[in-house]
Structure 1
Amino acid sequence: MKIVVVIPCRNDAGFLQRCLTALDLQTRGPDQVIVVDNASIDDTSAVARAHGATLVCQNRRGIWPAASAGYDKAFAEDADIIARLDADSVPPENWLARIERAFRVIPSLEGITGPGRFYGTDPIRKWIGEHLYLGAIEGIVHPWLGHPMFFGSNMAMRAELWKQHRNSVLSHRSDIHDDLDLSLQLRPGNRIIFDRSLVVDVSGRPLDSFKDVTVRVGKAFVTFYATWPQANPFLRRREATGPSQSNL
């Protein structure tokens, strides 16, 4: 099973260094790491090369253009599983080992995701981020979709799943959430697992100010609007013919 890790990065060389170091320490190492340099002007490319990562340059700014370029490269490199981290993600040493085990134990599994644990912020913002911000994803968005939503800082999917949906996602847009858009393209037959114990540390930067939080929430509304009627929960329920997703 070939696992390729994709990391979009724009001017986050310092965070990327920590992320790639964590991948170097995995008990089950990645078969390949792809860093997508999203028009950075810092040392992103140099850091990626120093860790032996494959470098992809995507000059169209935005997390979705960068992530999709990485997924396309992973698919072209014959990946079986495409794992995804953000540059400021810090996975535990057994992250990839657990992902591999999940796909081996459940042959029908097409994707797995888990929550984040914020670092670099004060306890109050940390609690708000983990219980209200991320909590809203599990408590509101998951039921809305009818299946777990991919969390872009901590996810993995079969390469075939990306092949199925790469032409339907709005990967040219930088004003929407890439992980939510991809999740909205999934159908009732796609089996996705949300594992609460598959935790990755993520930077608390999104919680730095009320403005930062509202921008992210606003992008969620834009994403739902842009993907209508796929985002219509009533149509999604009508399409569902039975339980096809589960939690661990």
Structure 2
Amino acid sequence: MPSISVIIPVYNDADLLRTCLAAIAAQTRPADEVIVVDNASTDASADVAREAGARIVPEPHRGILWATTAGFDAATGDILARLDADSVPPPRWLERIEADFQTQPEASAITGTAWFYGGTAFSRWFGRYCFLGAYFTLIAYLLGHPPLFGSNFALRADAWQRMRDGLHLSRNDVHDDLDLSYRIEPDMRVIFDRNLGMSISARPFGTVAGFLRRVGWGFATVFVNEREQPFWRRRAERRAAGLIGAPLAPWHKAQAGRD
């Protein structure tokens, strides 16, 4: 059986991290290790992680891409499962990740979707049907495969080693999951499991300024990567490898993952 490392970057999110770690502890398939990357927090995040028995990896350089990289580098598992401090995984999250990799051994990565908690009814609807809808549809076209979703994905450790060196760690305006998605090589297969669900906070959509900042990061990430390799060339390489990608399942119908 493959070993699974769970990686959770955190910055000043002690209360939400406590809820996330409790959900990880309640998994039907226990994690082999839980790594909390303390990204220079000034609150009790590290204490919360320590009390939960997680392994703490400090990353003083602020930035989600730096924190994700530090966690993946420190992990010892065969599979690296990634979520955020404000994520609340359903009890069978790790069980489903393990089953996906076992039944689809050709997969280098598995990614899922999410539903939102908190905020207003409009922000939850907007996040699910507009933000995630655009992300999975438009970025999948540019990449030729489903994009990784930072709050809910898993990589094989050997895939991470191949992807790592191309990341844009020198920039502070890129999305970590989107930058990682661009590092998927032409022969790597990404599986979108519409039933691999995750509950995450709707707080990114709480203010217009916050939302526009995230959109700006998205455009910056696309720009820097498209400048290095335009989407048409990337899609041609995947087509030549026979991996242009199967059509996405209806992401907005992902309900079964809530168990």
Q: 1:243 corresponds to which residue? A: 243
| SS of aligned partner of 1:110 | strand
Q: 1:21 corresponds to which residue? A: 22
Deviations 1:67-100 (CA, angstroms, capped at 9, x unpaired) = 10000001xx2x1000001000000000000000
Question: Normalising to structure 2: TM-score of the pair?
Answer: 0.91
171-180 or 190-199: bigger deviation: 171-180
List alignment gaps of at least 5 residues for structure 1: none
| 2:189/2:243 contact within 8 Å kept | no
Q: Partners of 2:214 and 2:229 in 1: how far apart?
A: 18
Q: 2:203 corresponds to which residue? A: 205
Q: 1:154 corresponds to which residue? A: 152
Q: 1:4 corresponds to which residue? A: 5
Q: Partners of 1:40 and 1:174 in 2: how far apart?
A: 17
Aligned residue runs from structure 1 range 206-225, under 5 A:
206-225=204-223
The amino acid that maps onto 1:46 is: D
Shift of 1:188: 2.5
Q: Partners of 2:84 and 2:115 in 1: how far apart?
A: 13
Question: Normalising to structure 1: TM-score of the pair?
Answer: 0.95
Q: Partners of 2:71 and 2:186 in 1: how far apart?
A: 26
Residues 1:82 and 2:83 are matched in the alignment: no
193-202 or 2-11: bigger deviation: 193-202
| 1:171/1:178 contact within 8 Å kept | no
**Equivalenced residues, count:** 245
Q: Partners of 2:84 and 2:169 in 1: how far apart?
A: 16
| SS of aligned partner of 1:5 | strand
Q: 2:255 corresponds to which residue? A: none
Q: 1:178 corresponds to which residue? A: 176
Deviations 1:212-241 (CA, angstroms, capped at 9, x unpaired) = 111111101111122233452111122121
Aligned residue runs from structure 1 range 40-189, under 5 A:
40-74=41-75, 77=76, 79-189=77-187
180-189 or 231-240: bigger deviation: 231-240
| 1:6/1:82 contact within 8 Å kept | yes
Q: Partners of 1:155 and 1:90 in 2: how far apart?
A: 13
List, as ranges, runs of 4+ consecutive aligned residues in structure 1 with deviation greater than 6 Å.
Answer: none
Shift of 1:185: 1.4
Shift of 1:174: 2.5
| 1:119/1:201 contact within 8 Å kept | yes
List alignment gaps of at least 5 residues for structure 2: 250-259
191-200 or 87-96: bigger deviation: 191-200
Deviations 1:163-184 (CA, angstroms, capped at 9, x unpaired) = 0011111134321001000101
Q: Partners of 1:109 and 1:82 in 2: how far apart?
A: 13
| 1:145/1:231 contact within 8 Å kept | no
The amino acid that maps onto 2:43 is: D
Q: Partners of 1:2 and 1:31 in 2: how far apart?
A: 6
| SS of aligned partner of 2:227 | coil
Name the % identity: 44
Q: Partners of 1:208 and 1:105 in 2: how far apart?
A: 39
| SS of aligned partner of 1:229 | helix
| SS of aligned partner of 1:33 | strand
Q: Partners of 1:239 and 1:230 in 2: how far apart?
A: 14
Deviations 1:12-70 (CA, angstroms, capped at 9, x unpaired) = 00110000000010000100000000000000111001111000000100100011000
Shift of 1:203: 0.4
| 2:144/2:244 contact within 8 Å kept | no
The amino acid that maps onto 1:5 is: V
Q: Partners of 2:175 and 2:64 in 1: how far apart?
A: 8
| SS of aligned partner of 2:171 | coil
| SS of aligned partner of 1:206 | helix
